[in-house]
Structure 1
């Protein structure tokens, strides 16, 4: 991997492979999935695996806008999550991170950058691709050990349930 002579920590034009990916096909339009993500009352219904639940969602889908929520566990666990949107293409793609605050200040120790892509399919369904990118292999493995596949998979199942109840 080539390094930038000015900054030996920078690797221009290259990406590392520290990502975890969840793919699903939903029987729903991209517009419906967008709505389930961007409306706080809907997001709170499905976003983390039961018996955990989300409260206090603040969603401002624009670059620099907040993506905040708090997860509560069945034994009194409380996990606040604060982040910002980096990129927003309505009904198609959005990227969030916990690395920054809304005023673009570093937020401390970043955990990941998450991207969701919605790919319309010819049959009216939508391919859903959720990717969690991490700064290093250790953080990626930590996320995997925390149950990325199981947790994000259960949340996607809950999203599929909600989408069946929603009207196009």
Structure 2
């Protein structure tokens, strides 16, 4: 197993996109499950000390994931992802945005399209690549200013811990 796992975060303002490449010390089926099953996502998706809490999830083309990021004081920030395409253990695309508790998208906040790809790297290592695109530069810049890189990095470290604990 590799000692240092890849974490690459690149912003491309010209193409209104963020590309994230992240390796995990686990076999592909386990990492796939960690991103596609709500009972596992709820254990790691939010940056500490926040927690993710799924309201509903239907992981299929045309389905969705509606969840809240719950803060240490009980505050909730809702999000809604609509799955467009799914290739089992290879990747999926989804439209993602902030929402209310009923799943209505908040059009005043950034919205993005995520293309998530999963690749077996051998030696119990899986590479996950996110290509996140925005309709305009303002949404991209707002996302960055909101601490997206730091929050996503923290959440990925939470998945590292969960994978190492064998408690999926």
- What range describes the TM-score normalised by the shorter chain of this pair? 0.7 to 0.9
Residues 108/150 of structure 1: CA separation in 2 closer, same or farther (3 Å cut): closer
What is residue 3 of structure 1 aligned with on the other side?
Answer: none
My pick for the range that moved more, 153-162 or 68-77, is: 68-77
Q: Is the 8 A contact 2:96 2:114 kept in 1?
A: no
- For the pair 1:162 / 2:162, whether they are aligned, the reply is yes
TM-score by length of 1: 0.78
Question: What residue number does 1:90 align with?
Answer: 88
Shift >4 Å, 4+ stretches: none
TM-score (norm. length: structure 2): 0.78
Are 2:44 and 1:27 equivalent residues in the alignment?
no
Structure 1: where are the runs of 5+ without partners? 1-15, 100-105
Q: How far apart are 1:50 and its partner, in Å?
A: 0.9
Gaps of 5+ in 2: 1-13, 98-103
**RMSD of aligned Cα (Å):** 2.3
Aligned partner of 2:132 in structure 1 is: 132
* Distance of aligned partners of 1:154 and 1:59 in 2 relative to their CA distance in 1, 3 Å threshold: same
* Structure with greater proportional strand content: 2
Q: Report what 2:56 is aligned to.
A: 58
Q: CA deviation at 1:68?
A: 1.1
CA–CA distance in structure 2, aligned partners of residues 163 and 37 of structure 1: 12
3-state SS in 2 of match to 1:118: strand
